[in-house]
Each structure stands twice: as structure tokens, then as C-alpha cells.
Amino acid sequence: MILVTGGAGYIGSHTVKYLLDEGFEVIAADNLIYGHQKAIDNRAKFVLADLMDMKSLKNLFDNNKIDAVIHFAAFAYVGESVENPEKYYYNNVVGTLNLLQAMLQHNVKKIVFSSTCATYGEPQYTPIDENHPQSPINPYGRTKLMIEQIFADYEKAYGLKHIALRYFNAAGCSNDGRIGESHTPETHLIPLVLQTINGKRDKIKIFGTDYDTPDGTCIRDYIHVEDLASAHCLALHKLDEYSGCINLGTGIGTSVKEIITAAEEVSGKSCPVEIAPRRAGDPARLYADNRKAKELLGWHPKYTNIKEIIRTAWNWEQNKKY
């Protein structure tokens, strides 16, 4: 039985579905602060639980035979983490410590963790490989780095097997249209562009056109959420023989303007834009060296064409279920 914390969230819910399709038994735990109960596949067992509440965690482990954990549950708004770091350090770091305590008390020693390229901070070179120095520039990124460091210490002391997956920009929605991305507030580029095209917003602001990139806008590595899900499943299988970190990205960089053009082509509609100042803390270029994921996990992203990724998100935007 696999416990998925944050199983009602965007990446968590897609991973729950993927694991079920692969034949795993899954418990999805979520406090539903940001998650959506409707996002949880009805083949999974759902448990309302909060990592800040040791009692609900203890019950979860007492009442279920858990073999391994995939840990998504976290707050993930970078801007909010700057405004209110306490919320992030408590929930993300203390929440993970609580989870680890419950795991070790129940002799569960395998965890796959939702980490982020934000742990690298301002890139010193691209593509970014796993040996790139980690120097996060906001509290959100620091919480994820701290957790990676905690895992390494827990492995030495308690034998905790762990794989931290450092995601680049998660994007797209389930190919069957049943689940998708639904954040409140929404801050991510692709859903905002598609909402604008769909008439729910007046325009999309492009945060900076004066970067040192071919079209002046920021370049990111957009990875389809189902490719993230498949990597979590492969990582689960690898935990017996490997602990460490692995980047998850396509290795392909796409600019903000290229995203907008691709979304216009996919939808057949135009997207009103406004040129706005740079957003604080946005590096010009972020894209992954993904060789380790391919070589170690045998992972291959199915989606390498940004229009195909956006097509799944556009399908969701037009038929959102939650």
C-alpha cells in the first residue's frame, strides 16, 4: 500500500491515478486546504489528514499497512513564502518531520519526495544538472532543500531510503480530461494564459521582455504532469537500491512568448497581453539536464512538444470539473 500525502493536489492527484493504473493500492491523504476531493480517483482510499496533527498521522499508520510514502503535501506559493515564511517553515518542514516520525515509528523507511528546481536558486549554468550548487533564493525553496538534507541525515542514522525529485515547471492535465490543474489563487503561466483566452481574464501580463534570451522573455522547462507521475512510480521501484536526488524536466526550454503563441495556436483564439515589469526572483533561463532520470530510472517523457502539453491543459480549461 502506497501513502500519497497531498493526494488531492495537482501533481499528487495525477500520481494517485497513475499508481492505480499500474496496479498499486493507494491511500491519498490530504487536508483539503488547497486540494480537491474530486481530484482523487475513486479507486483510492481517501483519508482527511493533516501533517501538523500527529494524532491523525498516527491513526493513518496504525490503521493501514503502508509500504512506502510519496510526499507531495506542502505549501507552494513562492511569493507567499516570502511574505509569511513561518507558514512555510512550519507546514513544509515540521509537517515532513512529523511524517518521518510516524513512518519510523511504524518501520516505514521508503519515501519519494516532491522537491523542486527552486532548490538551485539563480542558475550558474544551464542545463541544470543534479550537481549544480543548491542556493535557493526564497523560503519555499529553502524548505525543500532543508527536507532533502533531513533525508540524508535520516538515511545515515535510521536507514531511510529516499528519492527527491526536483521538478521543473509542472504543466498540462490528465489526457482523459478527468483531472487537472486548479489552484486558487492561480499564479502559473499556462493556466493563466488559457483562462485569458477563454475570456475569464482580461489579459496576461508578461513579466519582463528585457531578459537576455532570444525573444527577451523568460525560458522555462515545462514538463507534463503525467510524465511527473510516471517518474514517481519508477522512483518507488528504485528505492531499494538508490537514495538521492533526480531532476525531472524535458530538457527543452520554452519562452513566455512561445507559450502564448502555442496556446493561441492550440485554441485558435488570440490572447491579449500586457508587457509588465520583471517579477522579483525570476531567472532568465531554467531548464533541466535530465540524463540522470533517463539513465537511472529508465524514464522517458511522453510529452516533448509544448503544444501537446498545452492541448491537454486547454481541454481541461474548457471542461473543468473542480
By CB under 6 A, name the one of 205, 257, 269, 320 that touches ligand UDP.
205
Q: Which is nearer to ligand UDP, 63 or 124 (CB)?
A: 124
Query: Which residues, 255 to 294, sit near ligand UDP by CB under 6 A?
Result: 256, 279, 282
Q: Do 186 and 256 form a contact (C-beta atoms < 8 A)? A: no
Q: Minimum distance between the CB of residue 212 and ligand UDP, rounded to whole angstroms?
A: 13
Residue 224 binds ligand UDP, judged by CB under 6 A: no
Least Cα distance to 250 among 168, 320, 176 occurs for: 168
Buried b (16+ CB within 10 A) or exposed e, 142-153: bbbbbbbebbee
Q: Which of residues 89-128 bind ligand UDP (CB under 6 A)?
A: none
CA–CA distance, 167 with 14 (Å, rounded to integer): 14
List % helix, strand, coil for the chain (3-state, nearest 5). Answer: 40, 20, 40
CB of 209 to ligand UDP, least distance (A): 9
Mention every residue, 6+ apart, whose C-beta is less than 8 A from residue 180: 10, 173, 174, 312, 313, 316, 317, 320, 321
Q: State in angstroms the smallest separation of the CB of 170 from ligand UDP.
A: 9
Least distance CB 284 / ligand UDP (angstroms): 9
Q: How far is the CB of 260 from ligand UDP (least distance, A)?
A: 9
**Identity of the residue, 46 or 222, whose beta carbon is nearer to ligand UDP in the bound complex:** 222
Residues in the chain, overall count: 322
Q: Which is nearer to ligand UDP, 49 or 165 (CB)?
A: 165
Catalytic one of 34, 88, 140, 211: 140
CB closer to ligand UDP out of 204 and 235: 204
With CB under 6 A as the contact rule, the residue among 165, 206, 236, 245 that binds ligand UDP is 206
Nearest approach in angstroms of CB 182 to ligand UDP is 15
Bond preceding residue 127 cis, omega within 30 of 0: yes
As a whole number of angstroms, the distance between CA 8 and CA 53 comes to 18
Cβ nearer to ligand UDP, comparing 35 with 253: 253
- Residues 126, 286 contacting (CB under 8 angstroms): yes
Q: 143-202: which residues touch ligand UDP (CB under 6 A)?
A: 169, 187-189, 192
Contact stretch for ligand UDP (CB under 6 A) within 17-25, 47-55, 204-212, 233-241: 204-212
Strands 254-255 and 219-220: antiparallel
**Is residue 220 at the binding interface for ligand UDP, with CB under 6 A as the rule?**
yes
154 catalytic residue (yes or no)? no
Element of type H or E holding 46: strand 45-48
Out of 207, 216, 264, 269, the only residue in the binding site for ligand UDP (CB under 6 A) is 207
Residue pair 245/166 in contact by the 8 Å Cβ criterion: yes
Cβ 65 to ligand UDP, closest distance in Å? 36
Show the cell assigned to 64.
Answer: 493501514
Judged by beta carbon, residue 188 or residue 269, the one nearer ligand UDP is 188
Closest CA to 116 of 277, 236, 286, 255: 286
Comparison of 22 and 216: residue with beta carbon closer to ligand UDP = 216
Q: Where are the alpha helices (DSSP H) in 139-254?
A: 139-158, 189-197, 225-238
Number of chain residues interacting with ligand UDP (CB under 6 A): 14
Catalytic residues: 140
> What does the binding site for ligand UDP look like in residue numbers (CB under 6 A)?
169, 187-189, 192, 204-207, 218, 220, 256, 279, 282
